[in-house]
Structure 1
Amino acid sequence: MSDELTPLTEDFVDLYVDANEPPGSETPLVEAFVALGAQVRVRVWPTRRGPDELHWLFLVALPLQSFLGGFGGRLADDAYRRLKSALHRTPLDQAPEAPRPVVLQDTATGTRIVLGPEVDDEAYRKLRALDLARFRHGTLRYDATEARWCSVSDDPEDTGT
């Protein structure tokens, strides 16, 4: 298996699962995306040790701008509810000392959005309104203290909302 994420059409979502996760742990996320009309391909990410060890539980590769901004009000609310429910049914918080998040990765730009246990209802609302064009690359995390999405890239021009 290649380490590269293959960009897919907007009808597809690739769900990468850590090889160390028990079979079926991805089922809630698969069901959530299928319910939204996406075709989901589940792929197992090879086990890594050392500095390349995975820091996420699941990585979901999809067209983020379409997913976050392309939904109309009611459909966006449904998508949010399903995703939130799926995240609560995954083993996201079974290791409280170092919970591994679910990461959404844009297939077009590689921008990543980290969905950890600190992401609450307000964070999801702000995420839906987030203009991803402001972030050329990098990773976005929710800063619960400042109540905003922040870039954690090394690019000083990437700022949060």
Structure 2
Amino acid sequence: MIGNSLSAELLLDRDVTDAQKDQLVTMLGELGVRADARRALAHRGPAELGWVVLLALPLHAFLSGLGAEAVKDVYTGVKSLLRRGPRGDGAGSEDTGGGVGGGVGGARGPLVLHDSVSGLRVVLEADLPAEAYRQLVALDLTAYRIGPLHYDRHREAWRSELDEAAG
């Protein structure tokens, strides 16, 4: 539970059901995060990231208030919830190795954390190792300007290729 209540915005893919939306809001509320949920526009440009859930909040406060295991639990909870079918019974939960959302009306994609202060985005992909979550909560987000941040499994580090390219 986070000491002071945080406000967050949940932007959901159109394939996330109302029941799933309500469960996500409840799950975040139990962590002390007051979430306002809304739907993404039906049409996005080809350059948009293919996420299923985008959680926008003061990221530093969220990460430092929860710790690595709790952030991993949030991700696991969102992933588990979205794998269930529209009836919440596991129907359509077939996963072919994609990110969060396997089986949600065919939706695929990661959970994206969006820092409402800096605009930086952190992409939580499927099956991140525990070390990725430990590094994430200790990460100096001010060291990045462009993002999005992805965990590089080969380098075992969070990085932004766009920041690296910009020098």
TM-score, normalised by the number of residues in structure 1: 0.75
2:102 to 80, 83, 94: 94
1:109 to 115, 118, 124: 118
Query: What is the identity, as a one-letter code, of the residue corresponding to 1:42?
Result: A
Gaps of 5+ in 1: 1-9
1:138 to 140, 147, 161: 147
Q: 2:75 — aligned with what?
A: 84
Equivalent position SS for 2:9: strand
Q: 1:5 — aligned with what?
A: none
**2:122, 2:149 within 8 Å by CA — same for their partners in 1?**
yes
2:9 to 9, 14, 33: 14
Structure 1 residue 18: deviation in Å? Answer: 1.1
Structure 1 residue 31: deviation in Å? Answer: 3.0
**1:47, 1:53 within 8 Å by CA — same for their partners in 2?**
no
**1:32, 1:82 within 8 Å by CA — same for their partners in 2?**
no
Equivalent position SS for 1:103: strand
1:51 to 39, 46, 51: 46
**1:141, 1:149 within 8 Å by CA — same for their partners in 2?**
yes
How many residues of Structure 1 are paired with residues of Structure 2 in the alignment? Answer: 145
**2:68, 2:134 within 8 Å by CA — same for their partners in 1?**
no
- CA-based RMSD: 2.8
Once residues 145 and 26 of structure 1 are traced to their aligned partners in structure 2, the CA distance between those partners, rounded to angstroms, is 34
Once residues 40 and 27 of structure 2 are traced to their aligned partners in structure 1, the CA distance between those partners, rounded to angstroms, is 21
Query: What is the identity, as a one-letter code, of the residue corresponding to 1:114?
Result: V
Equivalent position SS for 1:48: coil
TM-score, normalised by the number of residues in structure 2: 0.73
Query: What is the identity, as a one-letter code, of the residue corresponding to 1:85?
Result: T
Once residues 117 and 142 of structure 2 are traced to their aligned partners in structure 1, the CA distance between those partners, rounded to angstroms, is 11
